Amino acid sequence: MFRLKLSASLLTGLILSVSTLHAQVKAPIMGWSSWNNFRVNIDEKMLREQADAMVSSGLYAAGYRFVNIDDGYFGGRDKDGKLLVNTAKFPSGMKALADYIHSKKLKAGIYTDAGNNTCGSYYDKDPNGTGSGIYGHIDQDCNLFFKEWGFDFLKVDWCGGERMKLDEQTAYTPIIKAVKAIDTNIVFNICRWQFPGEWAIKQADSWRVSGDISAKFSSILHIIDLDADLYKYASPGHYNDMDMLQVGRGMSYDEDKTHFSMWCMLNSPLLAGNDLRSMSRQTIDILTNKELIALNQDKAFKQATRVLKDANIEIWVKQLAGKNAKAIAIMNRGDNDATYDFSADKAGLSNNTELRDLWLHKKLGKAGALRRFDIPKHGIIVLKTV
């Protein structure tokens, strides 16, 4: 009898431990980053206004949380090597800015480079980025970012590291270890501009798989293709980062929808890159489509896979939590509108599977043997089994 009670107790503890572990798994982060729209031209007033707009626009209600400060805040280093802030841009300092972001119930992100110099020092001629990278200052900078300033996210770029000819694994591993030693909940992003290698897939929370995105549909397709075969490296809490969103930055409505849909299907972090203060209603509606966001945040944490190519039409399937639950994206890569006859078996579904359209927000009924969809050029249909 004693052994039975002990076994039951151990079993209960094991179940609780597994449940707790599952509850702590991080979904892809959602938020905003300054780089796409502002590059190094940032200041505390603008960043506070982005935090305000994240709440007032409805993005917070849709799940967006991070306000990530990218390159451009640096002020060099003092004689002891301590990182300084550009006081002309940030007169209140970074701790005050992080505190303000936190006061909105948001999280704050910060930026560095694995090498001596930041990307802005090379590409934007920002002299304050020279010598401001984390190389040689790992513990010093991590203590500053997280213990003194209180940030929740770190993006580590590679411009300086590349020019120093550093080895990626050797350069990034001690930075990750230093960050996680302070707090395992801090989100760490490797910005290497390509899949960094299998060494990274259990250490980092996310890793970039491409060069910088641009607001062109060709760029969107290029990144999707780069990520197509990387699903095997993604796992709960560890994701392929397809770069910041370009929704609301000049592409067509259908291109923006396709872009956002595929980032959700492929479990990329969702970091808006537009100016949140001046979004159109159309842009807000795309970024706050809760049915699409639910795919990105789904508890199965599965990246979609491409199951069919038919000329310019592709079918992608994402396994969701729940028995036989799936999301299906039918994407038109072509430069012309298309009519496509979709059969359920192409997505591994039965004809009796009930479908819901996640952009029309309505049930479509049974998949049937054949269902015809009109898809605009560069457009997409996203379905979910119900």
Q: What is the CATH number of the domain that holds 261?
A: 3.20.20.70
pLDDT at 12 exceeding the cut of 50: no
Asked whether residue 1 is assigned to any structural domain, the reply reads no
pLDDT at 199 exceeding the cut of 90: yes
Q: Give me the helices (H) in 25-167, please.
A: 35-38, 44-56, 59-62, 94-103, 119-123, 138-142, 159-163
State the Cα–Cα distance between residues 223 and 242, nearest whole angstrom. 6
Domain boundary among 271, 297, 323: 297
Domain that residue 325 falls in: 305-385
| Residue 255 and residue 364 in one domain | no
State the Cα–Cα distance between residues 301 and 370, nearest whole angstrom. 30
| Residue 229 and residue 376 in one domain | no
Mind listing the pLDDT tens digit for each residue in 291-311? 999 999 999 999 999 999 999
| Residue 286 and residue 337 in one domain | no
Are 224 and 306 contacting, i.e. CB atoms less than 8 angstroms apart?
A: no
| Residue 359 and residue 235 in one domain | no
- Where residue 341 sits, what CATH number does that domain have? 2.60.40.1180
| Residue 338 and residue 263 in one domain | no
Mind listing the pLDDT tens digit for each residue in 80-131? 999 999 999 999 999 999 999 999 999 999 999 999 999 999 999 999 999 9
Asked whether residue 23 is assigned to any structural domain, the reply reads no
- Average pLDDT of the chain is 94
Asked whether residue 17 is assigned to any structural domain, the reply reads no
| Residue 167 and residue 220 in one domain | yes
| Residue 291 and residue 315 in one domain | no
Phi-psi region of 365 (alpha: psi -120 to 50; beta: other; left: phi over 0): left
Q: Which of 226, 222, 177 is nearest to 199 (CA)?
A: 177
| Residue 154 and residue 226 in one domain | yes
pLDDT at 240 exceeding the cut of 70: yes
State the Cα–Cα distance between residues 357 and 365, nearest whole angstrom. 10
Least confident of 197-206, 287-296, 366-375: 366-375
> Which of the residues are catalytic?
157, 212
| Residue 107 and residue 194 in one domain | yes
| Residue 133 and residue 170 in one domain | yes
Q: What is the pLDDT at residue 21?
A: 44
Domain boundary among 297, 319, 340: 297
| Residue 322 and residue 253 in one domain | no
Asked whether residue 9 is assigned to any structural domain, the reply reads no
Percent of the chain surpassing pLDDT 70: 94
Give the pLDDT band of residue 2 (cuts 50, 70, 90). Answer: very low
Q: What is the pLDDT at residue 330?
A: 98
For residue 51 the two structure tokens come to 């935090």
Asked whether residue 19 is assigned to any structural domain, the reply reads no
Q: Which helix (H) or strand (E) holds 234?
A: none
For residue 380 the two structure tokens come to 């997409």
What pTM, to 2 d.p., does this model score?
Answer: 0.93
CA 238 to chain centre: 11
| Residue 317 and residue 230 in one domain | no
